[in-house]
């Protein structure tokens, strides 16, 4: 399949590399050139501009946030240059409002639009084991399906409205952030009573909370292993804000999301924004006092 790919952060590089390895023709673009050059050495074609990449059978974008999507021109200008019938698969975590705007802008120009955000960190992406939630016209999802099969272990179809996929992704990341904050606070609490993080997490992640999210993030918090970041704290803050905005728009109170926003904001304010978002545990430690 002829695939364009825009956005080569850690996740994007892993996904694009898998598509190249699977035999697809992949044109790649990124704002900084080193990731493009890296993928070109692995068989991808380097695109000089976003427009050069935004063509083919399917164009995939995995950009950081709403602002990056607008900067590239995906809310309008870039679409004017796209070939008729192109299917755009947006795999980034973006706002509900921008999702609606993108779906409308694509439809007005005869382009397919699929919101297909993913759950999984960089190592999961590299293994082709992402969980993908896809929403958009059935035919557009069908076009992209062979690519989803390379990228992930399972893809869920969530209907014709791309907003559904955006909402599921925002809700999922809100739950992840909540789990990480709970792990952080519980670990600090137990440490005040002489219980090591290792002991606490051995008990909890092998009994009440025997689930991948608790095991993975518990291990990072226990070892204070926040680098390299699998998902940066500044992006965690962005996603919590997306949840708050979505809740406000739908008149759904999310009181704990406000707690999370303040915790992540405090971490960013202390210079931890580029660390893994599990470094929010350091916020709990600072709040509890200097001896921790």
The catalytic residue positions are 169
Q: Which of 101, 22, 42, 24 is nearest to 8 (CA)?
A: 42
Rounded Cα–Cα distance for residues 273 and 131 (Å): 25
Q: Which residues contact 21 (CB under 8 A, 6 or more apart)?
A: 42, 43
- Tokens at residue 253, please? 């109170």
Which residues are bridge partners to 59 per DSSP? 4, 88
Q: How far, in whole angstroms, is CA 261 from its chain's centroid?
A: 17
Q: How far apart are CA 67 and CA 280, in angstroms?
A: 24
What values do phi and psi take at 129, rounded to 5? Answer: -120, 25
Q: Which two tokens stand for residue 62?
A: 């995995």
CA distances from 101 to 96, 106, 117, 259 (A): 9, 9, 16, 29
188, 285 in Cβ contact below 8 A? Answer: yes
């Amino acid at each position: 399949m002829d695939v364009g790919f825009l956005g080569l952060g850690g996740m994007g590089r892993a996904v694009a590399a898998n598509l190249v390895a699977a035999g697809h023709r992949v044109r790649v673009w990124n704002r900084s050139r080193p990731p493009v050059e890296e993928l070109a050495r692995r068989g991808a074609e380097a695109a000089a501009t976003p427009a050069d990449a935004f063509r083919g059978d399917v164009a995939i974008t995995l950009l950081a946030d709403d602002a990056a999507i607008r900067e590239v021109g995906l809310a309008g200008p870039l679409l004017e240059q796209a070939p008729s019938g192109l299917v755009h698969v947006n795999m980034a975590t973006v706002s509900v409002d921008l999702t609606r705007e993108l779906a409308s802008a694509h439809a007005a120009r005869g382009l397919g639009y699929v919101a297909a955000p993913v759950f999984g960190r960089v190592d999961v992406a590299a293994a082709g084991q992402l969980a993908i939630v896809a929403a958009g016209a059935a035919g557009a999802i069908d076009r992209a399906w062979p690519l989803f099969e390379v990228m992930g272990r399972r893809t869920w179809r969530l209907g014709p409205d791309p907003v559904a996929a955006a909402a599921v992704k925002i809700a999922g990341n809100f739950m992840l952030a909540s789990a990480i904050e709970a792990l952080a606070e519980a670990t600090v609490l137990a440490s005040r009573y002489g219980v090591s993080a290792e002991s606490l997490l051995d008990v909890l992640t092998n009994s009440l909370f025997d689930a991948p999210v608790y095991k993975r993030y518990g291990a990072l918090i226990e070892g204070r292993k926040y680098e390299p970041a699998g998902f940066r704290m500044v992006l965690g803050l962005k996603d919590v804000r997306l949840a708050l905005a979505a809740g406000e728009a739908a008149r759904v109170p999310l009181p704990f999301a406000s707690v999370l926003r303040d915790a992540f904001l405090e971490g960013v304010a202390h210079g931890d924004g580029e660390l893994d978002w599990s470094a929010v545990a350091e916020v709990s430690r600072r709040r509890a006092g200097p001896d921790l």
